Amino acid sequence: MANKSLLNAAPAELIELALEVLRAKLPDALAEADRAAAQAAFRALAIAKAELTADPATAARELAEIEALLGRDFAGDLVAAQRTLAAEIRARRIPADTAAGVRLRDHLLNAAAHRLRLTNPKYMTRRQRRAESSY
């Protein structure tokens, strides 16, 4: 990719370019002990790229599910909604034997499948679990 096209590249394209260069050049230049750290950094960049290219409607659907579960508006803040849901789960405020408990389990399964699809697509393919998420 030429420098001129770098100016017009989307963030995900820039991350992909950086990953290509780093994967080609960096491992051979590193000591064996540092290669695992480099691989972790490559993986983190790949996850960031996947997040950037993910369908934005997915986050909106997850937020809507959490808002419905908790009966509260989070004004578009998915992270705050996720943290509040985690606190509610830790405090055991959503009884498992109710309709809300069933909706919570469905939400958690969908959210986990979506996250795995972004962070570890090979796992989802191997396990043939692509259809488990409605996201």
In the prediction, which pLDDT does 119 show? 85
User: Do residues 107 and 65 lie in contact, with contact meaning Cβ atoms separated by under 8 Å?
Assistant: yes
In the prediction, which pLDDT does 120 show? 83
In the prediction, which pLDDT does 129 show? 52
- The Cα–Cα gap between 15 and 102 comes to 39
In the prediction, which pLDDT does 132 show? 52
pLDDT digits (tens, 9 = 90+) for 62-93: 999 999 999 999 999 999 999 999 999 999 99
- Give the global pTM: 0.68
Which residues does the chain have with pLDDT short of 70?
Answer: 1-4, 124, 127-135
